[in-house]
Structure 1
Amino acid sequence: MHYVTVEGLTKSYGAGPLFKDISFHIEEGDKIALVALNGTGKSTLLRILCGQETPDAGTVWIHKDVTVVMLEQQNAFNPGETISRHIFSQGHPVLSAIRDYEMLTEEGEEPDLDKLTKAIERMDELNAWHFDSKVKQILGKLNIHHMEQLMGSLSGGQVKRVALAKVLIDIGFEHRHTLLIMDEPTNHLDVGMIEWLENYLDQEKVTLLLVTHDRYFLDSVCNEIMELDQQQLFIYKGDYENYLEKKATREEMAKSSVEKARNVFRKELEWMRKQPKARTTKSKSRIDAFAEVKEKASVRLEKQQLELNVKMTRLGGKIIEMKKVYKAYGDLQILKGFDYTFKRGERVGVVGKNGVGKSTFLNMLLGLEQPDSGKINTGETIVFGNYDQRGLVIKEDMRVIEFVKNIAENFPLADGTKVSAAQFLQLFLFPPEKQYTYISKLSGGEKRRLHLLSILFRNPNFLVLDEPTNDLDLPTLSILEDFLLDFQGCLIIVSHDRYFMDKLVDHLFVFEGQGVVSDFPGNYTQYREWEKDKPGQEKEEPKPVPAATTAAPAPAAPVDKGRKMSFKEKRELELLEKEIADLEKEKETLDAKMASGTLPYAELEPIARRVGEVINLLDEKGMRWLELSELS
């Protein structure tokens, strides 16, 4: 089914167009990633498709049966509204029934039996139990609990996860034909959530258009890449690696074409300057063609490669020593006797679930927070560069170039030469015309890029990067990675971007909770593989830090057989027994049909596929039945 047709779309802000005369199509089942520099129109294009903005020219046609659902980077909400009301705000009878049932069966509360009976009858009447199980899965995987909590009391990351849950519930509920648009869906998700979202989007077989900086997520989910570059749109089939190869080929061809056009332009310009008086038909056509040649020759080749052999601030023999460091907030233990001595040129990734103290650990390293006990000794030559999640802070609005020059006029290189502030800005994709833009006029991603640039421009020798990839575009990430690969100082990174971590870190501090920190000798992907294989294979164990005071990681908690089953779990167990019986009957019927030998292939193939689905459902529901049946 044909979902969307875009023809000749143009949109401008300020002096020049963001994109000009672009066209593309979206078919059912397409999974497309939109790639571009921050500030070149990605979010604007998404908002046009959603009907939130109008183009200057061109048309957008969306099939009348297609519903467009969008997850934005900044999500609007009513602070006084509960999570439950926000997620189930559609007002559809099924969603309302699920919301009422979930509110009545919140853990720790004794439900009103009359109301609960009516809620269960309503769920039965609307056949809402299957969708309720999907809702539970989404909320559980995104770590969303306490549905009566007010939206205004949530952190930014929690708001993003609630918005994501709402979108996934909406598309899974009733829209058979849905175009799902997602702007940076992996921001504020930990790795487990990202991996679950990858699998969920694949299984749901949605039609998808997304903007993401997470290259592993892009590769796992998308089969097509659209790039906005110099106001034009380029389309590449395949994965991210294929996109890079095809893009490089296109740029080489464009470079060759521009060079040829410039040679022709020089000849034509010389001819034009002669100003021939007799303008025959032939010379008139040549004059008319001159404008076209001039336009081709004027295309600017943006790819300016500026290699920086950085003259880093000198590092002494002593870097940072942490001795028997303890830190806790109430019952939350962050460090318990942590011992570590950093070495020159060390590259450490810091990983762990949200809320285990990763940012607090960074703040202690930087001297912004003090430990409860123990010592943190910092070498006298250390110059910190701290890129945190608060973003760019300026006292008053100023132009981009002025902001950088207030830090320093030049950036020193190892060979004794210097790079000017303007050249450094160009390296980080701020062309000359953008350098004189006021900071308040920059997009959110451009402000993040400027913040990062301003930290690197101070020439630190110990870089601390807390979620540096959030809201940065892929071209900027590529430049940042190249810069950091050549960086000779110490580097500590907290990030959920697996590709970024794999490329840059040598080992990991794994925050496991309750003060347990392990030192894993490898990158992020190797750690995730080790985690998955851990129960059945002997692997090199992460070393506890410190060995004397850190306990080994606890095994997965078994089902608490002494715990009483809640009413909600009793009801779930009853429904599971019925569902399992129904699935077993369906499987018997399907097996009989397949064994008859009379069905044509066209009918046999979907039956065989359904048998596989039924077997998987039986396994899944059988395991859940076993878990619940063990509760007393």
Structure 2
Amino acid sequence: MHYVSAEGLTKSFGITPLFSNITFHINEGDKIGLIARNGVGKSTMLRILTGKETADKGKLWINKDVTVALFEQEPGFKEDKNVLENIFDAGNPVMNVIRQYEAATESGDADALGEVFVKMDELGAWDFEAKVQQILAKLNITYLQSKVGDLSGGQRKRVALAKTLIDIGFDHKHTLLLMDEPTNHLDVEMIEWLEHYLNGENVTLLLVTHDRYFLDAVCDEIWELERENMYTYKGDYENYMEKKAARLESENASIDKAKNTYRKELEWMRKQPKARTTKSKSRQDNFYEVESKAKQKIEDAQVQLQMKMSRLGGKIIEAKKVYKSYGEKPILKGFDYTFSKGERIGVIGKNGVGKSTFLNILQGLEPADSGKINVGDTIVFGNFSQQGLVIKDNLRVIEYVKTFAESFPLAKGGSLSAAQFLELFLFPPEKQYTYLTALSGGEKKRLQLLTILFRNPNFLILDEPTNDLDLPTLAVLESFLTDFQGCVMIVSHDRYFMDRLVDHLFVFEGDGEVRDFPGNYTQYRLWQKEQEKKGLSTLLAAPAKAAEPVVSAAQPETVAKKKPSFKEKREFDELQADIAKLEAEREKIGEQMSEAGLAFEQMSKLSARASEITTLLEEKEMRWLELSELI
């Protein structure tokens, strides 16, 4: 069944064009990922499809039997109503009786339950109620009687998601579901459940997300808005990256060819006498077409991150027997750890277990109940918090940056003015005089990152840094953090981001227990599933012996180890050498792939070898970790 057709859609804000003359079609069962830089028009496109905004030009046709459902980044609610009243549409008898059932269940009113049981039977609402219970449970919505106006940002987002899923679940026979960053404010287990839910439901989906694993798990086609055009790619994110590289290479070759033709045609045009009227009209027209193409510029503007890191001394941070609780809820129970230079630590756990509190305690922003946090004299924290920009006055962008410093020292010497530094972060001169309140969510995140790096930190703490950042900016941030010589601690639900950057994890398992896991997030999930199969510890409940608090890396092991054999010692040494060689080869391939004018065939070979190296490194590093436990 054909759902949507768009022909020649054009939309601008003022003089800024978002997209121009784009055409696309959506059929039943399509699952499409829409990606673009911040400010290019992703959210605007979704709002046009729902009728909340209109295009400047073009035609949009939506099948009359199709219902369009939109999950927005900033959901709208009836603030004075409770969660139940916002989720369930009182105008629908089945939804209304389920709302009454949920309210009676929560209150424990036996008389009300008896009455609503009869209504549920009469309307045959039990099957749908089971689906409702699953959605509410998986999204951890237990505050059904709370007013929406009193909820946190994450709770509001989960309520909006539950409402959307329940609405389409009730009658999704012909529903086009539009989702704008649905994974923000969800923990990893919720994201994984949402992946399975969307794959299991027969929905037609157009999705905006920065979560690359989620994109690959849910979508089988990618649309990209770039330079006012829309480009379509079948397949996953990796295929999109390869096809895009090939497209850009082809476009650049086409422009180079047009430049050569333009030079010849320009010479011909100049030789023609002004009074001559028999000049070839078709050749003249063709000249202007060639000129237009020759003067095209394919700009791949990217945030550029360079900084002169503050000197890092020998002492980093020592945490000794740290305890922290909120009322009867323990956050840390005897946390003990000594941080080392260049450590990259991921922090994971369910929402509400105290990850952000832990980061605040490390920085001295919040006191511990007992224990000590000794911070080295040279440590300069860079705190990318979920709170976002702290705006006291509605300043212009350039004024705000100058409140931190007038200039910025570079890693290779010299310095940049505040205005020049802003341009590196994709804030052109005209944007620098925009008021902070007028910036988009992604632009505010970019500006927040800029102000943190402006202070030259050597210990970066990133609390959900990927929310609202576009994929190109994320890729640059990942590259920067890979080369960053200081310490990095990351709290994120973006599994792809974590896998690329962290060496080990602090896993907040609840009840104040923190596990130090030697590996990235994917490795942890594989290990966790193995433990579950064996009937051992899980993230929610672990045996007391397995859930001991993190101990300092400097402390001796208390568990007797098997003595390594000579063969194992030799293998360990060989693995270290092999890993170093593979990392050097990967770095060299990265440099080759960044060279201009590289042929597509050569690019494909290098890309394939880079993928092989990544697989080999993962295997060797896992074996190295096993042997390092013995040696």
Smaller-chain TM-score bracket: 0.7 to 0.9
Q: 1:345 corresponds to which letter in structure 2?
A: G
Call closer, same or farther: CA 1:332–1:47 in 2, change over 3 Å: same
The residue matched to 1:145 in structure 2 has which SS? Answer: coil
Q: Establish whether residue 544 from structure 1 lines up as the match of residue 549 from structure 2.
A: yes
In structure 2, distance between residues paired with 1:433 and 1:132: 53
In structure 1, distance between residues paired with 2:352 and 2:114: 38
The residue matched to 1:380 in structure 2 has which SS? Answer: coil
1:199-254 superposed Cα distances (whole Å, 9 cap, x missing partner): 00000021000101111000000000000001100000000000000011111112
Report the equivalent of 2:77.
Answer: 77
Q: 1:86 corresponds to which letter in structure 2?
A: N
Q: 1:340 corresponds to which letter in structure 2?
A: Y
In structure 2, distance between residues paired with 1:472 and 1:310: 20
Q: CA deviation at 1:288?
A: 3.2
TM-score (norm 1): 0.82
Q: 2:15 corresponds to which letter in structure 1?
A: A
In structure 2, distance between residues paired with 1:91 and 1:175: 18
Q: Establish whether residue 12 from structure 1 lines up as the match of residue 12 from structure 2.
A: yes
Report the equivalent of 1:489.
Answer: 486
Call closer, same or farther: CA 1:380–1:135 in 2, change over 3 Å: same
CA contact (8 A) 2:9 2:56 kept: yes
Further displaced range: 71-80 or 301-310 = 301-310
In structure 1, distance between residues paired with 2:548 and 2:258: 61
Report the equivalent of 1:628.
Answer: none
The residue matched to 2:117 in structure 1 has which SS? Answer: helix
Report the equivalent of 2:598.
Answer: none
Q: CA deviation at 1:395?
A: 4.2
Report the equivalent of 2:239.
Answer: 242
Call closer, same or farther: CA 1:261–1:423 in 2, change over 3 Å: farther
In structure 2, distance between residues paired with 1:68 and 1:313: 52
Report the equivalent of 2:135.
Answer: 138
Q: 1:333 corresponds to which letter in structure 2?
A: P
Q: CA deviation at 1:432?
A: 5.6
1:335-360 superposed Cα distances (whole Å, 9 cap, x missing partner): 11111111110101111111111111
Call closer, same or farther: CA 1:264–1:443 in 2, change over 3 Å: farther
Report the equivalent of 2:382.
Answer: 385
Q: Establish whether residue 445 from structure 1 lines up as the match of residue 445 from structure 2.
A: no
Q: 2:501 corresponds to which letter in structure 1?
A: L
Q: CA deviation at 1:373?
A: 1.4
In structure 2, distance between residues paired with 1:353 and 1:266: 63
The residue matched to 1:291 in structure 2 has which SS? Answer: helix
1:409-431 superposed Cα distances (whole Å, 9 cap, x missing partner): 55444433445655644544445
Q: CA deviation at 1:127?
A: 1.0
Map 1:194-273; keep pairs closer than 5 Å: 194-269=191-266
Report the equivalent of 2:108.
Answer: 109
Call closer, same or farther: CA 1:58–1:306 in 2, change over 3 Å: closer
Unaligned runs of 5+ in 1: 549-632
Report the equivalent of 1:603.
Answer: none
Q: CA deviation at 1:453?
A: 2.2
CA contact (8 A) 1:337 1:546 kept: no
The residue matched to 1:168 in structure 2 has which SS? Answer: helix
1:510-545 superposed Cα distances (whole Å, 9 cap, x missing partner): 111221111111101111111111034599967731
Map 1:86-485; keep pairs closer than 5 Å: 86-89=86-89, 91-106=91-106, 109-112=108-111, 115-269=112-266, 276-303=273-300, 310-404=307-401, 407-408=404-405, 410-418=407-415, 421=418, 424-431=421-428, 434-435=431-432, 437-485=434-482
Report the equivalent of 2:52.
Answer: 52
Q: CA deviation at 1:310?
A: 4.3
Call closer, same or farther: CA 1:284–1:394 in 2, change over 3 Å: farther
Call closer, same or farther: CA 1:476–1:87 in 2, change over 3 Å: same
The residue matched to 2:532 in structure 1 has which SS? Answer: coil
Q: CA deviation at 1:152?
A: 1.4
Unaligned runs of 5+ in 2: 538-544, 556-631
1:148-181 superposed Cα distances (whole Å, 9 cap, x missing partner): 2211121111111011011001001023100000
In structure 2, distance between residues paired with 1:189 and 1:376: 30
Q: 1:297 corresponds to which letter in structure 2?
A: A
CA contact (8 A) 1:11 1:56 kept: yes
In structure 2, distance between residues paired with 1:38 and 1:389: 18
Q: CA deviation at 1:277?
A: 0.7
CA contact (8 A) 2:34 2:206 kept: yes
CA contact (8 A) 1:227 1:234 kept: yes
Report sequence identity in percent: 67
CA contact (8 A) 2:302 2:476 kept: no
Further displaced range: 536-545 or 257-266 = 536-545
TM-score (norm 2): 0.82
The residue matched to 2:300 in structure 1 has which SS? Answer: coil
Q: 2:50 corresponds to which letter in structure 1?
A: C
1:48-88 superposed Cα distances (whole Å, 9 cap, x missing partner): 00000010000110001000001000011112111111111
Correspondent of 1:500 among 497, 500, 503: 497
Q: CA deviation at 1:46?
A: 0.4
Call closer, same or farther: CA 1:533–1:311 in 2, change over 3 Å: same
Q: How many residues align?
A: 546
Please, what is the CA RMSD of the aligned residues? 2.5
In structure 2, distance between residues paired with 1:28 and 1:266: 49
CA contact (8 A) 1:347 1:491 kept: yes
Q: 1:124 corresponds to which letter in structure 2?
A: D
Map 1:523-562; keep pairs closer than 5 Å: 523-537=520-534, 544-546=549-551
Call closer, same or farther: CA 1:279–1:137 in 2, change over 3 Å: farther
Call closer, same or farther: CA 1:427–1:479 in 2, change over 3 Å: farther
CA contact (8 A) 1:5 1:60 kept: yes
Q: 2:277 corresponds to which letter in structure 1?
A: T
Report the equivalent of 2:581.
Answer: none
CA contact (8 A) 2:463 2:492 kept: yes
